[in-house]
Amino acid sequence: MAKLKSFTLDLGYPIYGSKFVNGNTLIVAGGGGEGNNGIPNKITALLIQPDNPKKPIKRFRELVLNDKEDCPMSLDVNNNMILVGINENSESIKRGINKHLRKFRYQNEHLKFVESCQIHPSNNSSVYQKLTCLTKDGNLGVIAISDNPSSLYIVDTSDNLEEKFKIFTAGDVKDISISPDGKMMCYITSTHFEAISTITGRSVFKTELSFTMSKIAFYDNNAVIIAGSNKAGIVLGEFLVNKSSISKTSVVARNMKGITSIDVNPKSGIVSLAGSDCSILLVRVKDFKLLKKLEKVHGFAITKITSSEDGKYIASVSAANTVNIQVIPPNYSTSKSFIASAIQLILTTILVALLAI
């Protein structure tokens, strides 16, 4: 595989969440937290423009958040809605007041605060909204809290933020994902996988898998991609909802401790995995073939990986203050390596020569 074109920008604050709001605009969020010692809490819109040699990643719009509160710890974006997890200051939380769920909009190319509310009751400032997920239409959200067992909530986000269902989980929730049609959500602990109807709030099925799970993402309304590990290394599995079973698994890396984030793009056919060693694995969905490993993309832990809907860009962000963009060529997942193409050309030439005899 040819070397990918890539760009990196240092934003000056640790970044914990990111998502494309459209084909070339990436929303990121993070900061230094409460009493941030000069490191601000921010939500930033970045323009991705690889043909601009001076500013391939441009800081386009930005909201500076309250420096007396915690920084954004999780984020999702869909249909121009931005849902973020931000704790209030520790003194407010001690009094049981914590409007941790925040709603923003990307409207007319500007970032706009809409509302905030408290869904989870707590007076412990170390408990925060660690996972946030939105349906494609932006009308429903799922959030996971960092208590153990994790509190999970399905939230109506269409108008005023409002709790719809509370889900009782099997332990420490590692990741959540919502199906493309918005009718189902899944969560995983290290050992349990469960699907919940977002319409009724009831469990559809639950199971245990043969490897330790860490990240999850719907590929379509039936297939769910699960990343984890076993003694052999990093494992990818495909779970089919209609069969309630794993359809395939593969070890995609052997010398890596874990996965910190996952992205699945149906358009490009690529699963992107952020490794604990700050690398990125690009894996083909069809057969779980490792297409490429990008070494040391960031100087510190990758907190989130995401891709544009058309699959053209893969963005990763880090607690090292950096945003990295990888430009993915068309048909990248189906193209052959140089060696494979050369071998095929040689074999074709030999075959033509034999037929000509």
Q: 312 pairs with which residues across the strands?
A: none
Q: How many domains does the chain have?
A: 1
Phi, psi torsion values for 204, nearest 5 degrees? -90, -45
Residue 41 has what pLDDT?
A: 97
DSSP letter at 210 equals S
- Within its chain, how far is the Cα of 137 from the centroid? 17
Contact between 300 and 278 under an 8 Å Cβ cutoff? The reply is yes
CATH code at position 351 = 2.130.10.10
Q: Which residue has the tokens 């794993």?
A: 246
Residue 295 has what pLDDT?
A: 96
Q: What is the pLDDT along the chain (357 residues), one digit of tens a residue?
A: 678 999 999 999 999 999 999 999 999 999 999 987 789 999 999 999 999 999 999 999 999 999 999 999 999 999 999 999 999 999 999 999 999 999 999 999 999 999 999 999 999 999 999 999 999 999 999 999 999 999 999 999 999 999 999 999 989 999 999 999 999 999 999 999 999 999 999 999 999 999 999 999 999 999 999 999 999 999 999 999 999 999 999 999 998 999 999 999 999 999 999 999 999 999 999 999 999 999 999 999 999 999 999 999 999 999 999 999 999 999 998 865 445 545 655 666 676 666 666
Collapsing DSSP states into helix, strand and coil, what is residue 99? coil
Q: Is 246 exposed, middle or buried (0-12, 13-18, 19+ CB in 10 A)?
A: middle
Residue 340 has what pLDDT?
A: 52
Q: Distance (Å, rounded) from C-alpha 35 to C-alpha 40? A: 9
Question: In residues, how long is the chain?
Answer: 357
Q: Which domain holds residue 343?
A: 5-356
Tell me, what amino acid is at 101? L
Q: Distance (Å, rounded) from C-alpha 13 to C-alpha 65? A: 12
Q: Distance (Å, rounded) from C-alpha 253 to C-alpha 178? A: 26
What pTM was estimated for this model as a whole?
0.92
Contact between 75 and 85 under an 8 Å Cβ cutoff? The reply is yes
